[in-house]
Amino acid sequence: MNAETTTVASAHDFTPYTEKKGEEYMNGAQKEHFKKMLLSWKRELMEEVDRTVSHMKDEASNFPDPADRATQEEEFSLELRTRDRERKLIKKIDSTMERIGSDDYGFCDQCGVDIGIRRLEARPTASLCVDCKTLDEIKEKQLTGG
């Protein structure tokens, strides 16, 4: 099996893209690479949502002891917060897929420069280059005093 026909098994288990000399940035092969990554990541998140729902249904008990009940409620609360963050991430993955379709993917929203293959592999939903992201974080620290 060659690298082009293998599918990504996991968002965390993928073959890094090998750039070819003189290759145009964000060409069809690169876009396809990131589509596979994003779809795999989304599938993992959706599977995790399904597992949470079944876990909560299976584990839901009405414990007579208030401490046991509180522990279970806290556990469920943490799971739900995690799933909420993942739900937001799924929306971001969907909007990133739209960016790929409209040829906006891989370019910084603020300055228009190439974000770079390696940065996108580390953070496929990145919409800012390293420099603009760094400036945003510095501005945020100045505003929040952190």
Write down all domains in the chain, each with its CATH number in brackets: 28-144 (1.20.120.910)
Q: At what angle do helices 66-101 and 28-59 cross, to 10 degrees?
A: 160
The pLDDT value given to residue 7:
36
Q: What is the mean pLDDT of residues 61-71?
A: 82
List the one residue out of 95, 90, 99 whose CA is nearest residue 48.
Answer: 90
Q: How far is CA 39 from CA 14, 44, 70, 129, 132, in A?
A: 12, 9, 37, 22, 26
Host H or E run for residue 139: helix 130-144
59, pLDDT greater than 80: no
Model pLDDT for residues 75-106, shown as the tens digit of each residue: 889 988 998 999 999 999 999 999 999 999 99
Q: How far is it, in rounded angstroms, from Cα 122 to Cα 131?
A: 16
pLDDT band per the 50, 70, 90 thresholds, residue 11: low
pTM higher than 0.85, yes or no?
no
Backbone angles phi, psi at 140, to 5 degrees: -65, -40
Q: How far is it, in rounded angstroms, from Cα 42 to Cα 123?
A: 13
**Residues with Cβ < 8 Å from 145, sequence gap 6 or more?**
none
